[in-house]
Amino acid sequence: MPSQASSPIAFRQSVYPDPLHRGITLEFRERFFPLGTSVEVQSNQEVVLEAARLSFSRYGRPPQTDHAQFLIQLCVDPERHDREPRSIPSYRALSQLFHIGYSNASFAIADLAMGCAVGFVSPEVVSDTSFFQYVFLECLFHVMVVHWSHTPVHCSSVALNGRGALICGPSGAGKTTLAYACAKAGMQIISDDVVHLQIDPACRKLTLWGNPWTLRLLPDAVQIFPELVGTEVKQRSDHEWHLEVDVSLRFPGQASVSCLPAALIFLKCHDGGKNQIRLLEKELALRRLGQDVVFDEEPVIARHQEVLRELVMAGVYELSYTGSPAVAVELIEGLLQRDNL
């Protein structure tokens, strides 16, 4: 009788139970090029890739490289389900690990140091495409790319002749409303909620990247823009409802993924008074922008600080207006048309 060492037992994978779903086959996979970086999305169901195409494919095709910079593996779990009412996602991080907790059926974790993320989602979550894109796909990608190479700024952004204006302000200040009004005036949309800045390692120029295809306005925006009556209202992760405006349909040819930043504008709400745009101190702008820099490793924080210092050199302004946003649009347009900012 041969010994155990000289005749190893051949285990058959298929005979063992798989309660953790480790054996799921990720047969659907595709590579994308958002924000000038490459990410590969893998899943066991095509519906995940369909959502990824909506989020990432319009940035263009990635270069032919041996491997993607980032990897996202999201599996649809047919055995677990999410029921109404919808819960609020929880976001936590410890060391290099970032976690999205939605329910016992839908969750994900990203290893920031490795640039990869894994997770499971229920059929109900993945069927709500807008919610799934925002909470899982785009969140996982943005957290990883911010750790590695990009700096986020919470703002809306528009551009004129390749010169971008970042419109900053607290929640409810009217950033997206103003961006929509700028688009009506013929400007290009860069983003409605956040932009990502990167110093190009080749030319050392600061580049602004956005997600220009959807503008999400509060439902009462129909009072300012009557043409939005009947626009679909959708819910995001914060339980707020928004009008989702498809930029490519509403403003054909006015979506732009990147530009060079030319002006940083802070909205100042006021009742009455003079409508004006005036210079603002750079140090004050840096302090305001620094409030959005979240805790990370020291080299990452240092990179963010360098990018923000470069940003304010483009010019910092405070915009005050009352009444119709068309007044503010004229001020922004005039600013971007100046030869020397």
Six-digit token string for 161: 């002749």
Is residue 326 in some structural domain?
Answer: yes
Residues 138 and 183 in one domain: no
Q: Give yes or no for a cis peptide into 78 (omega within 30° of 0).
A: no
The domain boundary residue, chosen from 121, 148, 175:
148
Is residue 216 in some structural domain?
Answer: yes
Q: Which pLDDT does position 135 carry in this prediction?
A: 94
Q: Are 123 and 129 in contact (CB under 8 A)?
A: no
The domain boundary residue, chosen from 99, 127, 148:
148
Residues 129 and 196 in one domain: no
Residues 158 and 220 in one domain: yes
The domain boundary residue, chosen from 148, 176, 202:
148
Residues 49 and 115 in one domain: yes
Domain holding 241, by residue range, is: 151-337
* CA 210 – CA 194 distance, rounded (Å): 7
Is residue 199 in some structural domain?
Answer: yes
Entry pTM: 0.87
* CA 121 – CA 221 distance, rounded (Å): 33
Is residue 244 in some structural domain?
Answer: yes
Is residue 5 in some structural domain?
Answer: no
Q: Within the chain, where are the H helices? A: 46-56, 123-127, 129-132, 138-148, 175-184, 247-250, 282-290, 298-312, 325-337
Is residue 41 in some structural domain?
Answer: yes
Q: What are phi and psi of 297, to 5 degrees?
A: -65, 150
Number of independent structural domains in the chain: 2
Q: Are 252 and 303 in contact (CB under 8 A)?
A: no
Residues 225 and 321 in one domain: yes
* CA 157 – CA 307 distance, rounded (Å): 17
Residues 115 and 254 in one domain: no
Place of tokens 């980032």: 70
Residues 155 and 120 in one domain: no
Output Rg (C-alpha) for the chain, integer angstroms.
23
Residues 136 and 201 in one domain: no
Residues 165 and 260 in one domain: yes
Strands (E) in the chain, as ranges, are 28-32, 39-43, 70-76, 90-94, 97-101, 107-111, 116-121, 151-154, 156-160, 163-168, 188-191, 194-199, 206-209, 214-217, 233-235, 241-246, 258-269, 276-279, 316-321
Q: Which pLDDT does position 238 carry in this prediction?
A: 59
Closest CA to 213 of 160, 237, 241, 249: 249
Is residue 317 in some structural domain?
Answer: yes
* CA 25 – CA 102 distance, rounded (Å): 23
Residues 44 and 170 in one domain: no
Residues 51 and 190 in one domain: no
Q: Print pLDDT tens along the chain (341 aa).
A: 444 445 555 555 567 888 888 888 899 999 999 999 999 999 999 999 999 999 999 999 888 777 899 999 999 998 899 887 778 899 999 999 999 999 999 999 999 999 999 999 999 999 999 889 999 999 999 999 999 999 999 999 999 999 999 999 887 778 999 999 999 999 999 999 899 999 877 778 899 999 999 999 888 889 999 999 988 888 765 567 889 899 999 999 999 999 999 999 999 866 566 788 999 999 999 999 988 888 889 999 999 999 999 999 999 999 988 888 888 999 999 999 875 44
Is residue 29 in some structural domain?
Answer: yes
Six-digit token string for 147: 């750790």
Q: What are phi and psi of 153, to 5 degrees?
A: -130, 125
Residues 33 and 47 in one domain: yes
Helical axes 46-56 vs 138-148, angle rounded to 10°? 50
CATH number, domain at 198?
A: 3.40.50.300
